[in-house]
Amino acid sequence: MREASPAVVDAAPRESAMLADVRHGLAQPQKELPPKYFYDRRGSELFEEITRLDEYYLTRTERALLARVAPRLARTLRPRALVELGAGSAEKTRVILDAMRAVGAPLADDAPLTYVPVDVSAAFLAETAARLGAIYPGLRVVPVVADLADEDAAGAFAPRALAHPVLVAFLGSTIGNFEDDAAVRLLRRVRAGMAPVDRLLLGADLVKDVAVIEAAYNDRLGVTAAFNRNMLHVVNDELGATFAPDAFAHSAFFNAAAGRIEMHLVATADQCVLIPGLGRVAIRRGESIRTEVSNKYDRPRLARMLGAAGFEIVTWETDPAGGYALLTAAPCA
């Protein structure tokens, strides 16, 4: 007689989205957990800290590019609405909003400019909305809580009801968290809500010297390691799981064949983790859980993905070293 496995017996009829993700991810030959689970309050703070690290070139490089590109965009596009995917703290958004204001974009009641920050973290989003509302009186802030990775959440972030032109900003190389086919599907969902006059503003990290890339994910202060381990704290807190975060080592390396950084948590000892609703999961010493992929692109690869999603690249700017790209793309009719 076959004994029912605890995993089946314990499974609630409607398990949480996180439990479903954990169940799925830990059942893979290469165990994995989705990177969105880095970002509770502590994780968001750690990420902010990462963006200020010497080694982490992405944020400051993109901000410099944005300072160059935003005034021109504000002048030529004159957006009526700004949708920001994965808004986070919306720090860079201010560069765009400032540029719009500088060219006299009416942040006023008669024709309010609308800012739609889209993020998974409701708490973070509320703070962002309140802060920006205070800094830019007249700005209409409409926060949307949505998971960009949710394939069924079509329209959750589609700027259909907004005044055009809409600028859809997807910054920080967050697109790099998606496998190319998933990124194309995401871009297609974005494209579906756009009018021909609208533009996509996409920030993407580019392939470069491997040592430079790897250093960005292996900082000397260990902030990225803490950020990585924080995912296990999040899963413990949310699900009552018994991961021992300190029994995992941070590992981040460039996978040249796939053109991406991979972050893993490597078990430093055999362990048995209880995940209520799922059961006990054995993790062997040396076994890893992949917590993130961060793709590093070149222009042909981005052009191919954008093309497959119904976009054409209109402008392309990189930093002098060619390490990071900030591009605009237009929807194809």
Question: Which parts of this chain interact with ligand AVJ (CB under 6 A)?
Answer: 50, 58, 172-174, 176-177, 217, 224, 292, 294
Minimum distance from residue 271 beta carbon to ligand AVJ (Å): 24
Smallest gap from residue 172 Cβ to ligand AVJ (A): 5
Q: Closest CB to ligand AVJ among 105 and 148?
A: 148
Distance of closest approach, residue 250 Cβ to ligand AVJ, in angstroms: 10
Nearest residue (CB) to ligand AVJ, 199 versus 250: 250
DSSP strand E in 171-247: where? 199-205
Q: Smaller CB distance to ligand AVJ: residue 93 or 114?
A: 93
Kindly give the interhelix angle for 41-51 and 122-135, rounded to the nearest 10 degrees: 60
Name the token pair of 184.
Answer: 């194309």
Q: Considering beta carbons, is residue 18 or 85 the nearer one to ligand AVJ?
A: 85
Half-sphere exposure of 78 (CA within 13 A, CB side): 6
DSSP, residue by residue, 247-314: GEEEEEEEETTTTEEEEEEEESS-EEEEETTTEEEEE-TT-EEEEEEEE-B-HHHHHHHHHHTTEEEE
Nearer to ligand AVJ, 38 or 157 (CB): 38
Between residues 35 and 79, which has the closer beta carbon with respect to ligand AVJ? 35
Quote the least distance from Cβ 123 to ligand AVJ, whole Å: 18
DSSP secondary-structure letter at 163? P
In this structure, what token pair is assigned to residue 295?
């793709």
Query: Pick from 5, 41, 237: which is nearest to 124 by CA?
Result: 41
With CA atoms as reference, report the closest residue to 235 among 281, 284, 295, 189.
Answer: 281
Residue 184 in contact with residue 308, Cβ under 8 Å? yes
- Taking the complex as a whole, how short is the minimal distance between the CB of residue 149 and ligand AVJ, in angstroms? 12
Q: How far is the CB of 119 from ligand AVJ (least distance, A)?
A: 12
